[in-house]
Structure 1
Amino acid sequence: MPDRESSVGPRAAVMDRRRLLFGILPAAALLVTGCARSDADERKARPPLALVYNGPQGCTDCAPAVADLLRRAPRPFEVTYVGPGTGKPLTASALAAAQLYVQPGGGADLARTWRDLRDSADVVRDWIRAGGSYLGLCFGGYLAGRDPGFDLLPGDTYGYAGSPGSSVPDDRDTVVKVDWQGKPRHMYFQDGPAFLLDDGADATVLATYESGAAAVVVAPYGKGRVGVSGPHPEADASWYAAEELRNPDGVRFDLAHELIEATTGRR
């Protein structure tokens, strides 16, 4: 008959090893799970990506102004410049990672800029149609229209300066009064578009010029959205100072933030 002490000893050692292993494994599993949760949380906490066109179009301050606005927004974006000269072309793969594409202001020659953009037009339209968001400011508003343009609007654009009933006679930099959803506001303006919408168009007019023409519009495009503004809601204090202009409301960005939220559907 085996010795009782010797028979119990090995079993106890096995039990101790099992306790040790089962004690270590849950801790290790928790550690791995904790790392996974940490990585997921980090990805979730990362701001959505906005692509801002910064190709050659005649305004060195326009893309940086809207990029700064997006980075400092109440719900901020990560920003990457795209377009000729940026090292990142406007392609389907670049858009696939983004929530918002911004075509800023600053251009003077639509045909010239369109030559740089037309090869990307189909991928931009496809991306918006699948759920992306396009924000066009001033020149970018013109480019949301047709001929030349991305043809994203339920209607088209025209130059507000000098148009019938316009308070702006020419293309000089100025401040315009708008009706923003029933409230009088003032915005920086430099030869921006007005928007002529089709009868019964599915679109929200956020603001009108004094003539009643649409100044700021958001419209669906497939599963995505298009937001356009003739005036510059992104204009900071340096823009006003450079042209010796004054905004009676003060230099504020609440209208820009509202337009971004409406365009991206984040409100």
Structure 2
Amino acid sequence: MAAPVAVVYRGPATSPGCAEAVAELLAASAWRFRVRLAGADELAAGALRDAALYAQPGGGDLAPAYRRMRRHRARIREFVRSGGRYLGFCLGGYLAGATPGFGLLPGDTDQYIASAGASVPDESDTVVRVRWRDRPRHVYFQDGPHFWFEPGAEPTVLATYDNGTVAAAVVRFGAGAVGVCGPHPEADESWYAEHGLSNPDGIRPDLGHDLIDTTMRA
């Protein structure tokens, strides 16, 4: 059986290197995705037609990113509603929300650094501590979101920040599923080295693979 196709957005609504890091994480996962990088023209031309998963990487600020992506909102929503999977990292997590965003969550997103009791005070690149599957772990972080859900929603919460807000979760949307993560489990050694950072746990892909697996199996 052929490996499933994953489409990863690469265009102005992301930052250099982000799409490639997500693509590498997907290709190395247990699903062995056939990964295609796609910009706005490819999305408009039907790049999602044979895909099992669409990934929105991290990048810059939410408002300008959404202005670039909003013409694809209906297309992405229909893809997930019909059984596709959406994976959002940092900015891609923000874009899964509604203010503004694709409206894929039964709830919304907000800045973790603006939440009460946040352990990160500003937008600088850093390493954040989370509880992933109720175990302490450290992940690369740069102004990522936290997620909140309406009463009655049934998300699978994978990780929380130190203040208890949700750092990573998976939730159903129609026949499909949405996996979102505020930190960057796809970050490789070069990300840490560029900013003089280290990870006390070592730089491992297992958290990102857990997010992928849970989203695909939801």
> What is the TM-score when the length of structure 1 is the normalising length?
0.79
- Comparing both structures, which one devotes a greater share of its residues to strand? 2
Structure 1 vs Structure 2: percent identity of aligned residues? 54
Counterpart of 1:90 in structure 2 is 43
Structure 1: stretches of 5+ with no match in the other structure: 1-43
Q: Structure 1 CA distance, aligned partners of 2:107 and 2:140?
A: 24
SS for the counterpart of 2:78 is: helix
Counterpart of 2:36 in structure 1 is 80
Task: Describe how 1:16-95 pairs up with structure 2 within 5 A.
Answer: 44=1, 46-84=2-40, 88-91=41-44, 93-95=46-48
Counterpart of 2:77 in structure 1 is 125
- Residue 257 (str. 1) matches residue 209 (str. 2): yes
Shift of 1:92: 7.2
Whether the 8 Å CA contact 1:92–1:124 is kept in 2: the answer is no
Task: Describe how 1:183-262 pairs up with structure 2 within 5 A.
Answer: 183-262=135-214
**Structure 2 letter corresponding to 1:188:** Y
Q: Structure 1 CA distance, aligned partners of 2:44 and 2:145?
A: 27
**Structure 2 letter corresponding to 1:96:** R
- RMSD of aligned alpha carbons: 1.3
Structure 2: stretches of 5+ with no match in the other structure: none
Counterpart of 2:104 in structure 1 is 152
Select the structure of larger CA radius of gyration.
1
Whether the 8 Å CA contact 2:14–2:65 is kept in 1: the answer is no
SS for the counterpart of 1:96 is: coil
> CA-to-partner distance for each residue in 1:160-184, whole Å, 9 max, x for gaps?
0132110000000111111111111
> CA-to-partner distance for each residue in 1:35-55, whole Å, 9 max, x for gaps?
xxxxxxxxx2x2211000101
SS for the counterpart of 1:226 is: strand
Counterpart of 2:55 in structure 1 is 102
Q: Structure 1 CA distance, aligned partners of 2:161 and 2:192?
A: 20
Whether the 8 Å CA contact 1:205–1:217 is kept in 2: the answer is yes
Whether the 8 Å CA contact 1:195–1:214 is kept in 2: the answer is yes
Higher relative contact order (CA 8 A, sep 6+): 2
Q: Structure 1 CA distance, aligned partners of 2:64 and 2:38?
A: 17
Task: Describe how 1:135-146 pairs up with structure 2 within 5 A.
Answer: 135-146=87-98
Counterpart of 1:175 in structure 2 is 127
Shift of 1:154: 1.0
**Runs ≥4 in structure 1, deviation > 3 angstroms?**
none
Whether the 8 Å CA contact 1:54–1:82 is kept in 2: the answer is yes
Q: Structure 1 CA distance, aligned partners of 2:158 and 2:208?
A: 11
Q: Structure 1 CA distance, aligned partners of 2:120 and 2:96?
A: 22
Whether the 8 Å CA contact 2:99–2:108 is kept in 1: the answer is no
SS for the counterpart of 2:7 is: strand
> CA-to-partner distance for each residue in 1:227-259, whole Å, 9 max, x for gaps?
000000100011111111111100000010010
SS for the counterpart of 1:143 is: helix
Whether the 8 Å CA contact 1:50–1:78 is kept in 2: the answer is yes
**Structure 2 letter corresponding to 1:59:** S
**Structure 2 letter corresponding to 1:81:** L
Q: Structure 2 CA distance, aligned partners of 1:211 and 1:104?
A: 25
- Comparing both structures, which one devotes a greater share of its residues to helix? 1
